[in-house]
């Protein structure tokens, strides 16, 4: 970074009166970097510091306890950890194949004019505020789920035991679906850009050996784009894990562990937003603790994904992860 | 233009070799014509247009078995465009339209019933810049084409990989590191790997699009020697900017030139020795003598 940014500044020196001496530009970099580092440290310190009372009065085991009941002084986070992981898993299971498929279609299949139109639509959807998705979920999707999707999945996949209970509309399934809809544009937009920069020479090299279009994608394009696609996955997962308002609107907000995909549940983020207003003392500390746990989950997903790519020999374009 | 071409004597008739066909004018070396004298590919009035704008047109010539045919001409004369029409690489460009007729043996290249993937396994291609698959090992690169074509048996793949790497003069330097990434090879080695990759599929014709333009002189020399050796194995059509290269490797040459309406046309086609010494068209003479382009 430092090496490349020195060049335009250096060139400017020749053309502009507003030139920076070398020391000046170094100072800008150092100050900028220092401010960023300080913010990160301050942020982490605050969260850890605010959550400390919870650890000192409850120990460490409260994080994985099952009961959240402030009146009984119980602040178990397990239902919310599970809710967070489950909704994100539902979202990503849907978003990875569908997002990748759409991105491949956008990059390689659709004609140029449709490409521009669809590409704009995707970017537009990525910019919609999450509360709008949440409202759409409540107004449009919840009735649909209650009347059709939930009864159908119970009758078709009831044998799995995942679809027991009443058809209420709101719950894990709807929250996961809303998250899927929300992360899809992110997934598609980044994947498409990553796929588009796979060198044409590689694609033609495979074609010239008699590869079918599917083989070109499967054996050349996807392996080459692996690192960048991982970047898309990490960003989308991060968004799903931390999404707050939209989830709070459609998940049903139950403090108990869900026993079915139709059950109402809650996530760490929805727990925080629903309780923050009236919380004080240990409960407030526990909510900060929930934030800390969410941070750790995000970091864990990130590291696992990176390790997977590295083990698969991902020499590819690590730069695209950085960009993403 | 095609009519002026004198076909090489059939191997059975012991005609005394004429200067024109059997002496390499640069080296003075006399060679025996090994070609069977059958056209492998025939181009009849071939043209390529992009979005209605013609890039090259009216090209007709025959490509003979186990010969090296060079496409020469200045930039913009449509050499590469023409070459890419031969294995339907223009299929990916929606606005591209190829007219005329291209025959590969009895196969009409642009007939609706011709499967382009099958065609490309019969007409291989080597590109300007070495383009081995960076995520694959040397071995995987060498057998990539066979795998695309459905070969699964390891013994077959191993055998084909060795044979192709030997043919591309790469086996000795890579046999102990077949599992390494292709990106660990030098530029010249990468290009030879790309040649091996193309040979492994055992194509009838190998198209080479300025295969040495991105290489240093030593690597270029080795690729040129390799092209000479490959002649026994496969028919080659090579695009080159480099007059000396065409003189060194080609049996026959097609000289293309951009006309007044900026469309490439075939000016002259004939044996390389004739084109470089006494071409029929004064423009060919000007070009081979380096007076333009």
Residues B202-227 pLDDT 10s: 999 999 999 999 899 999 999 999 99
> Mean pLDDT score of chain A, rounded to an integer?
87
Q: Nearest chain B residue to A205 by CA: give it.
A: B131
Domain A65-323 listed as CATH 1.10.132.10: no
User: CB distance B120–A205 less than 8 Å?
Assistant: no
What are the backbone angles phi and psi of residue A146, rounded to the nearest 5°? Answer: -65, -40
Domain B38-130+204-288 listed as CATH 3.40.50.300: yes
Which residues are CB-contacts of A256 (< 8 A; sequence separation ≥ 6)?
A: A79
Q: Mind listing the pLDDT tens digit for each residue in B59-88?
A: 999 999 999 999 999 988 999 999 999 999
Q: Mind listing the pLDDT tens digit for each residue in B35-68?
A: 556 799 999 999 999 998 999 999 999 999 999 9
Q: Nearest chain B residue to A200 by CA: give it.
A: B131
* A259 Cα to chain B: minimum distance (Å): 43
DSSP label of B70: E
CB A121 within 8 A of CB A149: no
Q: Mind listing the pLDDT tens digit for each residue in B151-160?
A: 999 999 999 9
* A142 Cα to chain B: minimum distance (Å): 44
The β-bridge relationship of strands B68-72 and A74-75 is unpaired
Q: Quick one: average pLDDT of A220-233?
A: 91
What are the backbone angles phi and psi of residue A183, rounded to the nearest 5°? Answer: -85, -15
User: CB distance B149–A111 less than 8 Å?
Assistant: no
Please report residues of B whose CB lies closer than 8 A to that of A208.
87, 89, 120, 124-125, 127, 198
Q: Where are the domains of chain B?
A: 38-130+204-288
Q: Mind listing the pLDDT tens digit for each residue in B258-268?
A: 988 889 999 99
Q: What is the pLDDT of residue A186?
A: 92
Q: What is the pLDDT of residue A52?
A: 94
What are the backbone angles phi and psi of residue A120, rounded to the nearest 5°? Answer: -65, -40
Q: What is the pLDDT of residue A166?
A: 84
* A211 Cα to chain B: minimum distance (Å): 5
CB B24 within 8 A of CB B278: no
The rounded Cα A43 to chain-centroid distance in angstroms is 20
Nearest to A209 among B135, B144, B183 (CB): B144
Partners of B68 in beta bridges: B236
B263: left (phi over 0), alpha (psi -120 to 50) or beta: beta
Please report residues of B whose CB lies closer than 8 A to that of A219.
133, 144, 147-148
Residue B254 banded pLDDT, cuts 50, 70, 90 = very high
| Residue A142: strand, helix, or coil | helix
Q: What is the rounded CA–CA span in Å between residue B234 and residue A243?
A: 61
Which residue, A112, A221, A195, is CA-closest to A213? A221
Please report residues of B whose CB lies closer than 8 A to that of A207.
89, 92, 120
Which residues are CB-contacts of B13 (< 8 A; sequence separation ≥ 6)?
A: none
What are the backbone angles phi and psi of residue A251, rounded to the nearest 5°? Answer: -90, -15
Q: Nearest chain B residue to A216 by CA: give it.
A: B148
CB B103 within 8 A of CB B42: yes
| Residue B44: strand, helix, or coil | strand
H/E run at residue B79: helix B79-86
A71 CB neighbour count, 10 Å cutoff? 6
Cα–Cα–Cα angle for A243, A249, A255, rounded to 5 degrees: 85
Q: What is the rounded CA–CA span in Å between residue A247 and residue A267?
A: 8
The β-bridge relationship of strands A74-75 and A68-69 is antiparallel
Q: What is the rounded CA–CA span in Å between residue A127 and residue A136?
A: 15
Q: Mind listing the pLDDT tens digit for each residue in B88-135?
A: 999 988 899 999 999 999 999 999 999 999 999 999 999 999 999 999
Inform me whether the C-beta atom of residue B118 falls under 8 Å from chain A C-beta atoms: yes
CB B270 within 8 A of CB B253: yes
Q: Nearest chain B residue to A224 by CA: give it.
A: B135
Please report residues of A whose CB lies closer than 8 A to that of B121.
209-210
Q: In percent, how much of chain A has pLDDT > 70? A: 90
Partners of A69 in beta bridges: A74
Q: Mind listing the pLDDT tens digit for each residue in A267-324?
A: 999 999 999 999 889 999 999 999 999 999 999 988 988 888 777 654 443 333 333 2
CB A73 within 8 A of CB A286: no
Residue B204 is encoded by which pair of tokens?
Answer: 């009838």
> Mean pLDDT score of chain B, rounded to an integer?
87
Q: What is the pLDDT of residue A133?
A: 95
The alpha carbons of chain B give a radius of gyration, in whole angstroms, of: 19
Which residue, A109, A107, A208, is CA-closest to B88? A208
ipTM computed for the complex: 0.83
The residue among B124, B126, B143, B148 with the most chain A CBs within 10 A of its CB, best to mutate, is B148
A107-111, A200-204, B55-59, B159-163: the lowest-pLDDT one = A107-111
Q: What is the pLDDT of residue A204?
A: 95
- DSSP sequence for A165-225: S---S-SHHHHHHHHHHHHHHHHHHHHHHHHHTS-HHHHHHHHTTT--HHHIIIIIIHHHH
Q: Quick one: average pLDDT of A93-113?
A: 91
Which residue, A173, A160, A184, A151, is CA-closest to A83? A173
Q: Mind listing the pLDDT tens digit for each residue in B160-177?
A: 999 999 999 999 999 999
pLDDT exceeds 70 at position A20: no
Residue A197 is encoded by which pair of tokens?
Answer: 């920069």
User: CB distance A208–B87 less than 8 Å?
Assistant: yes
pLDDT exceeds 90 at position B34: no
pLDDT exceeds 80 at position A15: no
Distances (CA, A) of A320 to A185, A250, B184: 18, 34, 22
């Amino acid at each position: 970074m430092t090496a490349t940014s020195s060049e335009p500044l250096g060139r400017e020196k020749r053309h502009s009166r507003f030139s920076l001496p070398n020391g000046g530009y170094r100072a800008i970099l150092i100050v900028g970097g220092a401010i960023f580092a300080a913010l990160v440290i301050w942020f982490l310190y605050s969260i850890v510091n605010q959550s400390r009372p919870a650890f000192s009065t409850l120990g460490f085991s409260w994080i994985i306890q099952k009961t959240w009941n402030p009146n009984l002084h119980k602040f178990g986070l397990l239902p919310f950890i599970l809710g967070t992981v489950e909704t994100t898993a539902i979202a990503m299971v849907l978003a990875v194949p569908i997002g990748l498929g759409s991105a491949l279609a956008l990059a390689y299949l659709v004609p140029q004019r449709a490409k521009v139109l669809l590409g704009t639509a995707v970017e537009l959807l990525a910019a919609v505020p999450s509360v709008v998705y949440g409202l759409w979920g409540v107004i449009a999707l919840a009735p649909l789920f209650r009347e059709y999707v939930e009864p159908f999945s119970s009758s078709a996949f009831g044998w799995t035991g995942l679809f027991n209970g009443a058809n209420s509309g709101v719950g894990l399934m709807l929250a996961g679906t809303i998250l899927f809809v929300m992360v899809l544009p992110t997934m598609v937009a980044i994947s498409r850009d990553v796929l588009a920069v796979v060198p044409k020479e590689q694609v033609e090299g495979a074609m010239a050996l008699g590869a079918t279009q599917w083989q070109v994608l499967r054996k050349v394009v996807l392996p080459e784009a692996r690192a960048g696609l991982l970047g898309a996955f990490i960003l989308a997962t991060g968004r799903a894990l931390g999404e707050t308002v939209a989830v709070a609107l459609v998940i049903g907000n139950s403090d108990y562990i869900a026993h079915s995909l139709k059950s109402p549940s809650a996530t760490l983020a929805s727990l925080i937003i629903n309780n923050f207003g009236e919380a004080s003392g240990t409960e407030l500390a526990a909510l900060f603790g929930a934030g800390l746990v969410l941070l750790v989950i995000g970091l864990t997903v990130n590291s696992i994904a990176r390790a997977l790519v590295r083990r698969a020999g991902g020499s590819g374009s690590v730069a695209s992860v950085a960009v993403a | 233009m095609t009519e002026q071409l004198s076909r090489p004597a059939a191997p059975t008739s012991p005609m005394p070799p004429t200067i024109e066909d059997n002496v390499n004018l640069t080296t003075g070396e006399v060679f025996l014509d090994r070609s069977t004298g059958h056209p492998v590919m025939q181009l009849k009035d071939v043209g390529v247009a992009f979005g209605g704008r013609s890039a090259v047109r009216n090209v007709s010539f025959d490509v003979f078995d186990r010969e090296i045919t060079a496409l020469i001409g200045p930039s913009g004369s449509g050499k590469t465009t023409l070459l890419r029409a031969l294995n339907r690489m223009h299929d990916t460009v929606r606005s591209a339209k190829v007219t005329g007729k291209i025959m590969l043996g009895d196969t009409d290249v642009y007939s609706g019933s011709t499967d382009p993937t099958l065609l490309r396994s019969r007409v291989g291609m080597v590109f300007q810049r070495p383009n081995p698959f960076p995520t694959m090992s040397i071995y995987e690169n060498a057998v990539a084409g066979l795998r695309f074509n459905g070969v699964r048996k390891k013994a077959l793949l191993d055998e084909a990989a060795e044979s192709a790497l030997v043919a591309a003069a790469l086996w000795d330097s890579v046999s102990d590191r077949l599992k390494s990434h292709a990106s660990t090879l030098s530029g010249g080695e990468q290009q030879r790997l790309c040649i091996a990759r193309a040979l492994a599929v055992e194509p009838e014709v190998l198209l080479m699009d300025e295969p040495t333009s991105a290489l240093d002189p030593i690597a270029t020399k080795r690729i040129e020697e390799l092209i000479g050796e490959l002649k026994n194995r496969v028919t080659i059509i090579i695009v080159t900017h480099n007059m000396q290269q065409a003189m060194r490797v080609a049996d026959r040459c097609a000289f293309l030139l951009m006309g007044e309406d900026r469309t490439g046309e075939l000016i002259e086609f004939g044996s390389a020795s004739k084109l470089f010494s006494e071409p029929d068209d004064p423009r060919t003479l000007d070009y081979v003598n380096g007076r333009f382009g």
